[in-house]
Amino acid sequence: MTSAATLSPVRPRLLATWALAHGLPRVALKAASRRGDAIAGTAADPTIRADPFATYDRIREQGVIVHGKLLSATARHAVANEILRSDAFSVGPGDMGSPRLNRLMWRLVDSSVPGPIEPPSLLALDPPVHTRLRRPVSRVFTARAMNGLRPRIRELADELLDRVADQPRFDLIANYAKVLPLTMIAEILGVPERLSGPVQGFADSASQALDPGLSLRQYREVDAAVRQAHITIGQHIADLRRSPGTDLLSQLATMDGDDRLSDVELRATALLTIGAGFETTVNLIANAVVNLLAHPEQLAALRADPSGWENAVEEVLRYDSPVQVTLRSAKREVDVAGVRVRQGTPVLVILAGANRDPAVFDDPHRFDITRPNAREHLSFSAGVHFCVGAMLARLESAIALEALFERLPDLAIAGPPVRRGTRVLRGYDYLPVSSAVSARA
């Protein structure tokens, strides 16, 4: 994270963009939350962040789509699934707040250095532009290619566990849960180790940028990290154009003809894939460790029969979703499950709430690694934005968890974990663990 000391003075344009994109929504969300608006509360109330699931239940019970003061929301599985797959909905923010102020904000945003939810990031594009940019990325993350990575993931897990072998106590996030997916995504994209510092700084900031209502300080940190990341990755892409390798970035940088990505498209796609490639999987691994240690009988069952790891990962995705929510807006007036949604209405799609919908999952607040339909969760979204890296994330997590509990059979939480401050992403910044048994193989 960029420290306050390294931040340049506030530019008037940056201040204006922050005020429109975050400052005003921040005040409005807080005010609505204080007046009892549960949807605003999911973004603005720190007590809800610690345990959001009762609030998601309330929203689900209130209706198919609930209209809050600033935006609407659904926590129903069928409705979330329908919205995510519908071409009547866009990934744009819609008419949140004032349409005039929104237009002004988009004019002020510096489109030469887009963040993770600004076009041309895949997350902020609708078809057909989205289809063109996504195609070359999804070609690399096929099930076959990912399966081929199994031995490398296990080898890396073992290397990392060797490094903590002599430490009776260590932070699981920094030493394992984060570094494993970061190293894998860097290898797939061909990002050299010397760039991993700035790239990680970008991704840590970018994960904050997914949240609404950032403070001015947070916004400046995000802005500085995003600018630096564009410079770093831009220089690297220029090098690859001169001497390409076989990695994903080289393929993207040397595409010709109609498929050719512009410079800014290339930088945005690369940075999103890197950030999404580890800022989410770190949560899946850490959330799995915490939930499994809280349910020792289920962990014992996995030790006895490791074929259960894949379903255990699905249950963690369902029960403790690393990405809690996403946003869509109605492109036109549309009926969803019998409810009329006006054009421009922003709808918060509560993935983690859909994942606890009793209409789909029996006893949804129970953590159960043998749940037969755990995989029906919406944690990787659905429709055209379905996570490109779902297969990689599933594989990395199952292998990382199996290796961890095999090598450290007496692993235990060794102090209070620190939750991430983010709302959209749910996981931990710090997770101290201990083991008396050496992990040395």
Q: Which residues form the interface with ligand HEM (CB under 6 A)?
A: 122-123, 134, 137, 141, 185, 272-273, 276-277, 280-281, 284, 322-323, 326, 379-381, 385, 387-389, 392-393
Shortest spacing between CB 13 and ligand HEM, in angstroms:
28
Tell how strand 418-419 and strand 89-90 pair up.
Answer: unpaired
The contacts of residue 5 (CB under 8 Å, 6+ apart) are none
Whole-Å CA distances, 423 to 16, 249, 323: 24, 30, 9
What is the nearest approach in angstroms of ligand HEM to the Cβ of residue 220? 25
Residue 19 or 341: the one with the smaller Cβ distance to ligand HEM is 341
Q: Which residue is nearest to ligand HEM (CB)?
A: 389
Min dist. Cβ of residue 419 to ligand HEM (A): 17
**Residue 350 three-state SS:** strand
To ligand HEM, the closest distance from the beta carbon of 177 in angstroms equals: 11
Closer to ligand HEM by Cβ: residue 65 or 323: 323
> Which residue number, 113 or 123, has a Cβ lying nearer to ligand HEM?
123
Shortest approach of ligand HEM to residue 284 CB, angstroms?
A: 4
Q: Which is nearer to ligand HEM, 110 or 187 (CB)?
A: 187
Bridge partner residues of 305 (DSSP): none
Q: 170 to each of 98, 118, 271, 429, 434, how far by Cα in Å?
A: 48, 37, 29, 13, 7
**Please, what is the minimum distance in Å from the beta carbon of residue 326 to ligand HEM?**
4
- What's the number of CA atoms in the CB half-sphere (13 Å) around residue 273? 28
Least distance from C-beta 135 to ligand HEM, angstroms?
10
Residue 35: how many CB atoms within 10 A of its CB? 10
Structure-block tokens of residue 96: 């949140």
> By C-beta, is 269 or 435 nearer to ligand HEM?
269
Contact predicate 232/300, CB 8 Å: no
Q: CB-wise, 280 or 291, nearer to ligand HEM?
A: 280
What are the DSSP calls for 257-317, one per residue?
Answer: GGGPPPHHHHHHHHHHHHHHHHHTHHHHHHHHHHHHHH-HHHHHHHHH-GGGHHHHHHHHH
Which tokens belong to 82? 């329908």
237 vs 439 by CB, closer to ligand HEM: 237
Q: Quick one: 23 or 93, whose CB is closer to ligand HEM?
A: 93
294: tokens are 């809280």
**Which backbone phi and psi does 88 adopt, to 5 degrees?**
-85, -5
- The residue among 212 and 277 lying less far from ligand HEM, judged by its C-beta, is 277
Parallel, antiparallel, or unpaired for β 432-434 and 89-90?
unpaired
Cβ-based neighbours of 307, under 8 Å, separated by 6 or more = none
- State in angstroms the smallest separation of the CB of 380 from ligand HEM: 5
Nearer to ligand HEM, 60 or 328 (CB): 328
φ, ψ at 97 (rounded to 5°)? 70, -140
Angle among Cα 225, 230, 233 to the nearest 5 degrees reads: 115
How many contiguous H segments (helices) and E segments (strands) does the chain have? 21, 12
CB of 313 to ligand HEM, least distance (A): 9
Q: What are the distances in angstroms from CA 308 to CA 165, 371, 405? A: 26, 11, 13
Using the minimum distance from each CB to ligand HEM, give the nearer residue, 25 or 93.
Answer: 93
3-state secondary structure of 36: coil
Give CA–CA dist 224/419, Å, rounded. Answer: 24
Smallest distance from the beta carbon of 141 to ligand HEM, in angstroms?
Answer: 6
Distance CA 122, CA 115 (A): 11
> At its nearest, how many Å lie between ligand HEM and the CB of residue 387?
3
